Amino acid sequence: MRFALRLILPRIVLAALTLAAISVIIFTLVELLPGDAATRVLGRNATAENVEVWRTRFNLDRPPVTRYLLWARDFARGDWGVSLVSAQVASAGNPGGKTMRPVADLVLPRLKNTLILTLYVIAISIPASLFLGIVTAVFRERRFATWLSGLVLFGVSMPDYVIGVLMLLVFTVSLGWFPALALIDQAASVAEMVHMLTMPAVTLAIAVTGVSVRMMQGSLLQVLDSDYVRFATLKGLSKTRTLLVHALPNALGPAIRVTVLSLVWLIGGVVYVEVIFTFPGLGMLLLNSLKLLDTPVILAGTMLLSAFLILANLAADILAAVLNPKLRKQ
């Protein structure tokens, strides 16, 4: 119990402070975006009076600090506001504003799609990283391990959009095994969903797996050359028992952290994949919102992604400490 409190509580506090700091940074960056949101959404032909009314309605006429405090309060309450673009459409076509779309209705379905794709990528990359990392480390003197390391390095060096295009040409155009469009159908079965998402998931998993394999390989090689592993071997323990009981638990910590940090790359790389495979994820929504300066959508989407990454990093730290006896003593 003391170990759990000492391990979890400081990390939860740090995660909350990190999220608060990120909210300030995100809000500041959005404020620094060029152009005026009211003019961008209403158009250049909008009258000065309409622009002023629109700015007042959405608190754009207030000081930045006041707007941040109001936004942070509402965001914490679950009120993420309405999309400025939908608000403009509602004002033009329905003065009563009944068609205004809440930000949550736009962001949450796209976030769900992105998380589904991310979980699929993790389900592919983690087992592959463990297997390839262990094989290339344990059999490092074999020729096939050298070939595997070369393939991993090749996968890391390839841009994700190049991998996506190549996979489309091979598995869709030439072989016809997978669809070109990764569309999410809520009525589709699990097997159909897996089939539709395999192409973008594998595209993203190749780069994530490459980084994780190299970290797993380096960490395991370091542990295998340590004194306590050599001592275990001298005591007569089998290679399999030495690997699974003594070496692997101590090598998993760094590999887990790197895999989680690769999620940061995954969030950035998923935009290219969404464009290539027409995937309705959060990345494309944020990209379109940046073009239109739809600040409520930008703020809500980036905050949710930040919270997801912080929680993933927190889970990785806890898991690494549980698996590693050295970290449990800290």
Question: How does pLDDT run across 307-317, given as a tens digit for each residue?
Answer: 887 887 777 77
Report how many domains make up the chain: 1
Query: Is residue 221 assigned to a domain?
Result: yes
List, for residues 2-28, the tens digit of each pLDDT value: 655 666 777 788 888 888 898 999 889
Give percent above pLDDT 70 in the chain. Answer: 78
Query: Is residue 251 assigned to a domain?
Result: yes
Q: Which of 88, 49, 294 lies closest to 302, judged by CA? A: 294
pLDDT at res. 92: 46
The CATH number of whichever domain residue 213 belongs to comes to: 1.10.3720.10
What separation, in Å, do the N-terminal and C-terminal C-alpha atoms of the chain show? Answer: 15
List, for residues 148-197, the tens digit of each pLDDT value: 777 777 777 777 778 778 888 888 888 888 887 777 766 667 777 888 88
Q: How far apart are CA 185 and CA 163, in angstroms?
A: 25
**Torsion 18-24-26-28 (CA) sign:** negative
- For the entire predicted model, the pTM comes to 0.73
Q: Which of 285, 324, 312 lies closest to 113, judged by CA? A: 285
Query: Is residue 309 assigned to a domain?
Result: no
Query: Is residue 271 assigned to a domain?
Result: yes
pLDDT at res. 269: 60
Range 242-271 average pLDDT = 68
Structural domain harbouring 263: 103-294
List, for residues 126-162, the tens digit of each pLDDT value: 888 888 888 887 777 778 777 877 777 777 777 777 8
Most confident option among 103-107, 211-215, 319-323 = 103-107
Query: Is residue 253 assigned to a domain?
Result: yes
Query: Is residue 162 assigned to a domain?
Result: yes
Q: How far apart are CA 187 and CA 175, in angstroms?
A: 26
Lowest mean pLDDT among 66-80, 104-118, 244-258: 244-258
Query: Is residue 322 assigned to a domain?
Result: no
pLDDT at res. 24: 92
Query: Is residue 201 assigned to a domain?
Result: yes
